[in-house]
């Protein structure tokens, strides 16, 4: 029995060994659990699995050329799964004057729908009426309530130009359109579905990027706001009511670099106030760029997890490049090389974000192997790795030496968990018809998280 002031009992040697053994065992078990996690190399996402290529530009009723061939496809997926496809197709004005010759034609915007996840598409529907306009560069977006909005630039017989905006329920024909803006040198309209039923419209007017909104379902639009000088190539909605636009500097550029710009605005603000500071990035781009046509659009932008992701072609168009921004596009980190050394050219990039925000779907066109093909890959936001690219075009297009026969833009939309659709201008088999491409779509299965 211990007495007051006596020394505490000394622990036995056996008990001390037991405590040491427990501590050592805990350390060993902890290291066994943590070391594989510390040293495990993150793996890229699985490679997407392309489905069958479907030619969307079937013949429409009437003219044997109506709806056939085309360029600038746009894709949107409705909340009910309906896929809408729009493109700039041919509208025959007069038959060929010689056997086997080409007819006299203008361009018209056509729309087709798929109700079976892209297995087949409906016959093309002309929007705005045949033989009346020269329409180009369509844009599509579904609002959360299912309304489909379509915009395109339109040149009339009097050489005036307009940006027309149409609305329709999923899968239905469009009615009369709204003239959102009129003037000379209009191009590249892009639509955005915003909260509270607002429809945003960005477009180019001469060498300037402008912005306007509609609060009544695209029945009318407000006075446009001039944002900056440049060529509009991409945009995304994020943080609910913020829209980030990206593009290239305006004018003809001959040299080794071109400025890439980004700007973010508060779209719900009636004044469309700019958030942060517009950014400029110098990017290598060897070929001359001139308005109003740009044969190899880029960059493209999307948002995930509070960051902006910019995808573009760099290093003499031989690399697919990524940059990120946590400052509303005012500054950009990178660039990070996604894909290089496999190709002669990388063009027309597109990027979309999965519903969970953890995966980016990226698509582009390239001359890897010497022939134009369309590629798609998944990018993991968590690991920062790109999957092995899959060729979604089942057959190669034109030779690499033939420019602009692969289409000038790409359509990309995520259908549902595990699927996305890619659309492009495809020149395979058309080597004797200069400048014409078919509109081809592919539904791709992927491990999109």
Tell which wins on pLDDT, 398 or 231. 231
Q: What is the distance between the terminal CA atoms of the chain, rounded to a whole angstrom?
A: 67
Q: Where is average pLDDT lowest: 41-50, 372-381, 434-443?
A: 434-443
* 177 in Cβ contact with 146 (< 8 Å): no
DSSP count for the chain of H helices, then E strands: 1, 28
| Proportion of the chain above pLDDT 90, given as a percent | 44
User: What SS3 class is residue 321?
Assistant: strand
Q: Return the structure tokens found at 131.
A: 């033989």
pLDDT level of residue 32 (50, 70, 90 thresholds): very low
Q: How far does Cα 281 stand from its chain's mean position?
A: 20
Based on C-alpha coordinates, what's the Rg of the chain? Answer: 27
Q: Considering the entire predicted model, what is its pTM?
A: 0.85
pLDDT at 248: 86
pLDDT level of residue 100 (50, 70, 90 thresholds): low
* 55 in Cβ contact with 439 (< 8 Å): yes
Rounded average pLDDT over 281-308: 69
pLDDT at 132: 59
pLDDT at 432: 46
Rounded average pLDDT over 96-112: 76
Q: How far does Cα 238 stand from its chain's mean position?
A: 14
Q: Return the structure tokens found at 408.
A: 């000038």
pLDDT tens-digit readout, 315-360: 667 788 999 999 999 999 988 999 886 667 788 899 999 999 999 9
| Proportion of the chain above pLDDT 70, given as a percent | 74
pLDDT at 225: 92
pLDDT level of residue 263 (50, 70, 90 thresholds): very high
pLDDT level of residue 5 (50, 70, 90 thresholds): low
Sheet holding 71-77, edge to edge: 71-77, 83-94, 104-114, 125-127
pLDDT level of residue 397 (50, 70, 90 thresholds): confident
Distance (Å, whole) CA 425 – CA 439: 5
DSSP 233-247: EEEEEETTTEEEEEE
* 377 in Cβ contact with 407 (< 8 Å): no
Give the list of residues 6+ apart from residue 278 with CB closer than 8 angstroms, or none. 228, 261, 262, 263, 329, 330
Residue 251 has pLDDT above 90, yes or no: no
Distance (Å, whole) CA 258 – CA 317: 12
* 323 in Cβ contact with 334 (< 8 Å): yes
pLDDT tens-digit readout, 207-224: 899 999 999 999 999 999
pLDDT tens-digit readout, 36-82: 444 557 888 999 999 999 999 876 555 555 566 788 899 999 999 99
Sheet holding 178-183, edge to edge: 134-142, 148-155, 161-168, 178-183
Q: Return the structure tokens found at 295.
A: 């044969």
Distance (Å, whole) CA 62 – CA 58: 12
Domains parsed from the chain with CATH numbers? 51-445 (2.120.10.10)
pLDDT level of residue 148 (50, 70, 90 thresholds): very high
Distance (Å, whole) CA 364 – CA 252: 24
């Amino acid at each position: 029995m211990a007495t007051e002031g006596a020394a505490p009992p000394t622990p036995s040697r056996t008990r001390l060994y037991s405590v040491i053994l427990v501590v050592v065992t805990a350390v060993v078990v902890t290291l066994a659990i943590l070391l594989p996690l510390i040293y495990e190399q993150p793996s890229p996402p699985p490679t997407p699995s392309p489905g069958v290529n479907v030619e969307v530009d079937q013949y429409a009723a009437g003219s044997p050329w109506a709806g056939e061939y085309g360029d600038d496809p746009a894709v949107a997926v409705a909340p009910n799964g309906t896929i809408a496809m729009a493109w700039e197709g041919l509208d025959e004005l007069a038959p060929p004057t010689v056997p086997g010759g080409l007819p006299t034609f203008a361009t018209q915007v056509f729309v087709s729908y798929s109700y079976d996840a892209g297995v087949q598409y409906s016959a093309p529907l002309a929007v705005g009426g045949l033989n009346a306009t020269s329409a180009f560069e369509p844009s599509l977006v579904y609002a959360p309530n299912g309304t489909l909005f379509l915009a395109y630039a339109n040149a009339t017989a009097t050489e005036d130009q307009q940006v027309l905006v149409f609305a329709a329920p999923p899968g239905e024909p469009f009615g009369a359109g709204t003239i959102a803006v009129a003037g000379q040198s209009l191009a590249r309209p892009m639509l955005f579905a915003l909260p509270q039923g607002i429809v945003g419209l960005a477009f180019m007017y001469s060498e300037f990027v402008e912005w306007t909104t509609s609060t009544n379902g695209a029945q009318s639009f407000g006075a446009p706001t001039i944002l900056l000088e440049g060529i509009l190539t991409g945009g995304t909605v994020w943080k609910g009511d913020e829209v980030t636009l990206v593009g290239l500097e305006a004018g003809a550029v001959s040299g080794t670099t071109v400025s890439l710009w980004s700007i973010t605005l508060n779209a719900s603000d009636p004044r469309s106030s700019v958030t942060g500071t517009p950014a400029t990035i110098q990017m290598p781009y060897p070929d001359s760029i001139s308005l109003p046509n740009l044969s190899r659009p880029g960059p493209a932008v999307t948002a995930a997890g509070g960051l902006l992701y910019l995808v573009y072609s760099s290093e003499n168009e031989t690399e697919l490049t990524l940059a990120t921004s946590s400052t509303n596009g005012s500054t950009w980190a990178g660039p990070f090389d996604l894909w290089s050394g496999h190709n002669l050219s990388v063009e027309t990039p597109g990027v979309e974000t999965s519903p969970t925000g953890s995966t980016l779907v990226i698509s582009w066109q390239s001359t890897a192997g010497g022939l134009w093909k369309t590629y798609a890959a998944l990018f993991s936001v968590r690991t920062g790795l790109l999957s092995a690219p899959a060729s979604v075009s089942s057959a190669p297009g034109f030779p690499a030496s033939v420019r602009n026969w692969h289409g000038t833009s790409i359509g990309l939309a995520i259908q549902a968990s595990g699927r996305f659709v890619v659309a492009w201008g495809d020149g395979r088999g058309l080597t004797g018809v200069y400048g014409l491409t078919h509109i081809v779509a592919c539904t791709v299965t992927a491990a999109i998280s």
